[in-house]
Structure 1
Amino acid sequence: MIRLRDITKVYPMGKRELSVLNGVSIDIQQGEMVAIMGASGSGKSTLLNLIGCLDTPTSGTYHLEDREVSRLSSGELAHIRGKKIGFVFQSFNLLPRISALANVELGLRYSGGGDSHQAMDALSRVGLADRFQHRPTELSGGEQQRVALARALVKNPPLILADEPTGNLDSRSSEEIMSILTTLHSEHDITLVIITHEADIAHKCQRIIYVKDGQVVSEETV
């Protein structure tokens, strides 16, 4: 599913360069649930951006579903994101003036279309079918994150990338989100990659990849 080889990412900083990733090689199989852990500034979010085709590496190769994507144009990368990848972030990124259902429908905009029935099904999968008319301001933090998760799921992508999905939630809501993610992973063969700094969240995954100073330093099978 995901194969990274000798990935580097360097950002120009005036006359200097900032090296964020240094020779990262990772394999993630179809249907795996993997956590990437590391301290702030370790490079884990940059790594997720590369896996999610939001950015491209300075050097190295990235194959997604056996396609080399590390040198594609921005338009080609956008097409892959629209069809293949669902994103969940620490910030819910919901539009406050429209309903939960309408927010989920936005996830269909770049995937070739769909309808409200598909969006309602996604809300049902996260246990929010009865709240479809509510606006984000009428929902709890945990419910808002479930709407964001439904938006990521609505196009049925083979890959879900979650960047600190429980970072803004209390412990109960965090448990609910991880329970939903675990169920979706097991029932739908979704490949799930979670960025987290919380060990208890990481240990709900099948494998943990530890990143430090832009390098993979170890892995752990849970």
Structure 2
Amino acid sequence: MLLTVRNLEKTFATADGDIAVLRGIDLDLANGETLALTGESGSGKSTLLHLIAGLDAATAGDIFFQGQSLQDMDDARRAELRRVSVGIVFQQFNLIPSLNTRENLRFYARLAGREDAAWSNELADRLGLTHHLDHYPEQLSGGQQQRVALGRTLAAKPQLVLADEPTGNLDEDTADQIISLLAELVAETQTGLLMVTHSTRLASRLDRRLHLKAGRIQ
């Protein structure tokens, strides 16, 4: 199993007392499988994604990536995992403004030591970016920037892609195109995909869907 989450809990301390955001979460994700995580704002979706990415530590429970416990990893090992094996696509594109499309596409791959010009060029072609490779982020539309962000993540050949509302800033037609491309590419590369979304319509495009409510899987 690529990803295993068991009895995961996350509690935040506040001036008014502890707030339990996640309560006993269990989920599994296999290579090449796509999973949508839906839920209302405040249900804990982004918190769960951040824990799986190793950006924060759980209060209890564990996360296993290819059988290795994230709870047993130090910060440096979790950072290495994100650099080499886990790709993250956020709602905000986070492109580097001083790099053009070609350079942004290859940025994560270089960090991971997996730069492959042929694969980057294929991604650019399939994402409709071939004629925009010399353009900088400010010269691109929102949909084009999202395609660059997606291509940048996949260019590094991660084993797991975590996507947090990746189409939240896009119109419905563009969002559909992005999700179709994402699902197609992860299936071909046998990459696992866990996507957080408010949209049940987009969630229905993936293999499975889990709904998070008040910190629990429903």
In the superposition, the TM-score normalised over structure 2's length comes to 0.93
Secondary structure of the 1:110 match is: helix
Counterpart code for 2:201: D
Structure 2 gap ranges (5+): none
Do the aligned residues in 2 keep the contact of 1:56 with 1:71 (CA within 8 Å)? no
Task: Report deviation, 1:130.
Answer: 2.2
Aligned position for 1:220: none
Mapped partners of 2:30, 2:172: distance in 1: 29
Aligned position for 2:30: 29
Secondary structure of the 1:114 match is: coil
Mapped partners of 1:113, 1:33: distance in 2: 23
Mapped partners of 2:80, 2:195: distance in 1: 22
Q: Residue by residue, what CA displacement relative to the aligned partner does 1:28-59 show, whole Å, maximum 9, x if unpaired?
A: 12211100000000001111111122222111
Q: Residue by residue, what CA displacement relative to the aligned partner does 1:10-44 show, whole Å, maximum 9, x if unpaired?
A: 12224622211111111112211100000000001
Do the aligned residues in 2 keep the contact of 1:88 with 1:152 (CA within 8 Å)? yes
1:99-114 to structure 2, matched below 5 A, reads 99-112=100-113, 114=115
* Matched positions, count: 217
| Higher mean displacement: 85-94 or 202-211 | 85-94
Q: Residue by residue, what CA displacement relative to the aligned partner does 1:131-167 show, whole Å, maximum 9, x if unpaired?
A: 1111112111111000000110111011111110110
Mapped partners of 2:161, 2:25: distance in 1: 20
Structure 1's consecutive aligned runs of 4 or more residues displaced over 4 angstroms after TM superposition are: 115-118
- Are 2:39 and 1:38 equivalent residues in the alignment? yes
Aligned position for 1:200: 201
Do the aligned residues in 2 keep the contact of 1:2 with 1:63 (CA within 8 Å)? yes
Secondary structure of the 2:42 match is: coil
Secondary structure of the 1:98 match is: coil
Aligned position for 1:177: 178
Mapped partners of 2:42, 2:165: distance in 1: 14
Aligned position for 1:71: 72
Do the aligned residues in 2 keep the contact of 1:36 with 1:211 (CA within 8 Å)? yes
**1:126–1:70 CA distance, 2 compared to 1 (3 A):** farther
Do the aligned residues in 2 keep the contact of 1:34 with 1:205 (CA within 8 Å)? yes
Do the aligned residues in 2 keep the contact of 1:38 with 1:197 (CA within 8 Å)? yes
1:107-146 to structure 2, matched below 5 A, reads 107-112=108-113, 114=115, 118-146=119-147
Aligned position for 1:4: 5
Q: Residue by residue, what CA displacement relative to the aligned partner does 1:41-84 show, whole Å, maximum 9, x if unpaired?
A: 00011111111222221111111111111231110000001111
Mapped partners of 2:15, 2:109: distance in 1: 39
- Are 2:192 and 1:191 equivalent residues in the alignment? yes
In the superposition, the TM-score normalised over structure 1's length comes to 0.92
Q: Residue by residue, what CA displacement relative to the aligned partner does 1:162-191 show, whole Å, maximum 9, x if unpaired?
A: 110110001121111011112112222111
Secondary structure of the 1:147 match is: helix
Aligned position for 1:154: 155
**Matched residues, percent identical?**
37
Mapped partners of 2:9, 2:175: distance in 1: 32
